[in-house]
Amino acid sequence: MDIDQAKLDPATVFRRPHDVLKAEGVSPEDKKAILRRWEADAEALIRATEEGMPPSDNRGPGELLREVKAALQALDPKPPR
């Protein structure tokens, strides 16, 4: 697995954000970096969709963003207040 490529374009290495969590041999810091990049990509897709550009796959960018946020939460859960 090419960690540097995953940090640049996570979708070329992983099918879904949850797959990042299951990746063996990847540090928690690298997993967070990959997911944060995916988060930025999903947010850019949302902006593009709002400007009239259709998504490139069946998954909407909002769904992708929810998956990324859930994966980030699983990596770094915050205790309830």
- The domain limits of the chain are 3-75
- CB count, 10 Å around CB of 42? 23
Is pTM beyond 0.75? Reply is yes
pLDDT digits over 34-61, tens only? 999 999 999 998 888 666 655 555 567 8
> pLDDT at residue 72 above 90?
yes
**Alpha-carbon distance 52 to 36, whole Å?**
25
